[in-house]
Amino acid sequence: MSQPRTDLLDLDSLLSAEELAVRDSVRALLAEEVLPHVAGWYEEGRLPQARELALRFGELGLLGMHLEGYGCAGMSAVEYGLACLELEAADSGIRSLVSVQGSLAMYAIWRFGSEEQKQEWLPRMATGEAIGCFGLTEPDHGSDPASMRTRARRDGEDWVLDGSKLWITNGSISDVAVVWAQADDEEKGTTIRGFVVPTDTPGFSAPELRHKMSLRASVTSELVLEGVRLPADAVLPDVRGLKGPLSCLSEARYGIVWGAMGAARSAFETAVRYSIEREQFGRPIGGFQLTQAKLAQMHGELANGTLLALHLGRLKDTVGLRPEQVSVGKLNNVSKAIAICRNARTILGANGISGEFPIMRHANNLESVLTYEGTEEMHTLVIGQALTGQAAYR
């Protein structure tokens, strides 16, 4: 049977030859290294090949691929977005491995770090030899990071960190953690500062979180800091306040705008194929009007979300993105991806919940994607403030 047409708008025609080559190379790597195994990893609730995958992704230039210098590939925002789409079409946990490495941990060091910090960490992180994580969210402070309780105090020339972080992707396999803490600042009093923390520092631990029902094919951890002593030069020198972590989150949210469409595409294509192959009442279910209505609606939402991601990517590559523009993309695309997965599941009926098909795995993963790096509610309020000029957070 020939491959069904699932892109009626020929969106590939909007991409350059170089962009298509990046997309196809990532897709081929995932077909070989991830897709044959990811359903099993998800069912087991672990990602046993995380470090090996990081090395393979490093070989292809995926880690920090949109950053310049220090061994990074220096690719465009659109090329990075296309990579995120393919990664999440495999699994959201796989995309998270790459985006936390590149858009959070590496980006923080690249944007705000000293030259010594960049030289020490970025080349090894770009190859996947060193894994990074990003410690912002706390057990009691998710959407309100300004109220974080992790503290950094001066002790002579050193910094001493105490506190904990939660829901940290890559945490227990990381070699370095970028940790945000309330710190005493001689110029501004107490303010939020970022610290580059080697994970073998005494007092640092990262117990892995278990019993997740979502993002099961990923490493998620708590970070515990108990008297972690760091030298004076461990602090990120070029940023103070929430601007630091929030700008990193904007980088990662941009990748989610694309990635969510990857999960949606996988679910949609599965539903189309199934509708052609599955027969009821003596004919393929794709021949019934109600099934075609579902497929047509999903196709339109998938195309709209992909076009939105591409538009934001072109803006990012030319004039840059404002935070509310990223919020529009994340809010729209993740919610639409969840709806696509749900509709796709109904076409498969009971088979839609089987691990033999990717739909329920994507749907469960997207419940986490909807919440992390800014909940649906917070992005709604960011957009509302941009529209009205009124902040409604409190």
Which of 129, 373, 376, 377 is catalytic? The answer is 373
Q: Which of 145, 191, 196 is nearest to 167 (CA)?
A: 145
For residue 355, give every residue at least 6 positions away whose Cβ sits within 8 Å of its Cβ, in sequence order, or none: 39, 42, 43, 361
In our burial notation (b when 16+ CB lie closer than 10 A, e otherwise), range 134-146 reads bbbbbeebbeebe
Three-state DSSP class for 181?
strand
152 bridge partner residues: 161, 183
226 annotated active-site: no
Sign of CA dihedral 56, 60, 66, 71: positive
Sign of CA dihedral 159, 163, 166, 170: positive
Show the DSSP H helices in the chain as ranges.
17-33, 38-44, 50-60, 77-90, 92-99, 107-112, 115-127, 243-277, 289-318, 323-348, 359-371, 376-388
Q: Which residues are annotated as catalytic?
A: 373
